[in-house]
Each structure stands twice: as C-alpha cells, then as structure tokens.
Amino acid sequence: MATVAVAVALLLLAVSSSPATPVEGGGWDNAHATFYGDDSGGETMQGACGYDNVFRQGYGWETTALSVAMFAGGWSCGGCYEIRCQGSSACRAGAAVAVTATNLCPANYSKPYENWCNPPLKHFDLSKKMFIRLVTDFRVGIVPVAFRRVPCGGKSGGVRFEMKGNLWWVTVLVFNVGGAGDVRAMAVRGSRDGRWMGMSRNWGMIWNGDVRLEGEGLSFRVATSDGRAIVFGDVVPPTWTVGQTFQGNGQF
C-alpha cells in the first residue's frame, strides 16, 4: 500500500504542475469553427494526439482539431467541449455538439490574417459531420461559436491502453478516457519488482516508460487534469506485444 500511496502523491504533483484546464463549472467562451475532411472521415484519422483510428477507438465523428493556443502542446488531447453556433445567419437554431479534441489545427504564420488556428486565437476545426450539425449550409465555411469544457461521458468500457514502440521499452497510447478526458500524469509498475515508475509524455496521449519491461505484466496509474487518479492493476499480461490493446477495469 505504501508504494501505491507514493505513486499517487507523485502523480498528483505532476498534475498540479501541468497546465490547468477547468472541466466543470466553467463559463462559456467565444471562438470560431470550421471543418476539415470529407464525408468519409478519413482525414480525421491519426493526427497530433496519437490516436490511430478515431472510429475504432470510440470517438467517431464527434471530434475536433484545436487551434495552437487551445492545443497547449498536446495537453488538451482527449478533453471534451460543448460547442454552440451563434451570431451567424447560417447557424441552426439551438444547434450544439459535444466533441473530443483529437488533433491540432496547425498555425500558418505566412498568412497570419487568414489562418484562424494561429495563436492566440481560439478555434475548432471540426469533422465535417459535426460542422453540418451546427449550420444550415456547410459551404459557409466558418461560423462564430460559444464553447465550454465539459466532462467526457458515454464511454463504453474501461480506459484502454495500446502498446506502442517496441519490446525494449514501454510506450503506450491511452484512450477512451472519461471524466476530464485529458491525461496529465502516468506511472507504470512491472510484475517482477512491483516498483512504480513515472512515465513521461512523448507526444499527444502517448506516454513513455523509459524502462525495459518485456515479459512482465503491467499495471498503470493514470491521473487526469481534475486531480483524479485510478490504478489499473495487472491490465497488461506478461505476454503482451506491440500493437495490442488492453482494457482496464475502471473508468473516470
């Protein structure tokens, strides 16, 4: 129990030092929204958060890329937003969508007055189907919106861990995270010596263990930006290989 307590303390310290993102009780803010991709959704796959296939991984069409200022270097990945169209004749009456941040809308400094994703602007680049839910004609291209952070609900099953990298060190993509949605700290524990070791964020929601743990069963401790933390004990069997995905028995 002592090792778990130490791991919890270290994770909460890491969360407190990461960028703060209020999830509940926050007011509405203003931004603009566009869309990218087509009706197939192919262009919304992969991206700067590390998700491979947003449909297979449970995010579906309800996704958005964030402008540079909102993306916060990837710390906002997995966070959820409610968005309402406002102030345009193209807005559908009462239209709103809830989406998860899965990608970055990159800046274009060569055209600073034409790129809504340049800092310090707040902007959502939605999947086409989400944009169509907000407007009467997608050809309008861009609309003003109001938004707020909201908890990520409706998750099917537990938090999932996809093994990346290779067998020489533990690298994992964390997805299907409820609650705050954005992972701010992680630790890993191998089955041989049972020590908790902090993990470092590689990019997006891909985390590195920086240790060799091949042939060991793995447990993970995951903390989100609202200060909550869950231990997923023995979630990965000793026979794990790169490319496999494992589901934890808990959810935020």
Average confidence score pLDDT of the chain: 89
How many domains does one find in the chain? 2
Write the CATH number for 10. 2.60.40.760
Residue 252 in domain: no
Domain boundary, last residue among 133, 150, 167: 150
**Taking 80 as the threshold, does the pLDDT of residue 136 lie above it?**
yes
Using an 8 Å Cβ cutoff, are 180 and 228 in contact? yes
Question: Is the per-residue pLDDT at 227 higher than 80?
Answer: yes
Q: Are residues 119 and 43 in the same domain?
A: yes
Residue 166 is predicted with a pLDDT of 81
Instruction: Report the percent of the chain where pLDDT is more than 70.
Output: 88
The answer to whether residues 72 and 181 belong to one domain is no
- Could you tell me what percent of the chain has a pLDDT over 90? 75
Q: Which residues, in sequence order, are bridge partners of residue 65?
A: 103, 125
- Residue 91 tokens read as 């807005």
Instruction: Please give the pLDDT value at position 42.
Output: 67
Summarised one tens digit per residue, pLDDT across range 151-183 is 999 899 999 999 998 877 889 999 999 999 999
Domain-ending residue, one of 135, 150, 165? 150
Pairing of strands 96-104, 63-66: parallel
pLDDT for 22: 53
Length of the chain: 252
DSSP string, 223-252: EETTS-EEEEEEEE-TT--TT-EEE-S---
Q: Where are the beta strands (DSSP E) in 123-217?
A: 123-127, 143-150, 160-166, 169-175, 183-190, 196-203, 206-208
Between CA 201 and CA 122 the distance in angstroms is 24
Instruction: Give the mean pLDDT of 99-111.
Output: 92
- Per-residue pLDDT, 110: 85
Are 144 and 40 members of one domain?
yes
Q: What pLDDT is attached to residue 167? A: 75
Residue 170 lies in a domain: yes
Cα–Cα distance measured from residue 65 to residue 71, given in angstroms and rounded to the nearest whole number: 8
**Average pLDDT over every residue of 19-38:** 77
The answer to whether residue 101 is domain-embedded is yes
Q: Domain limits at 94? A: 25-150
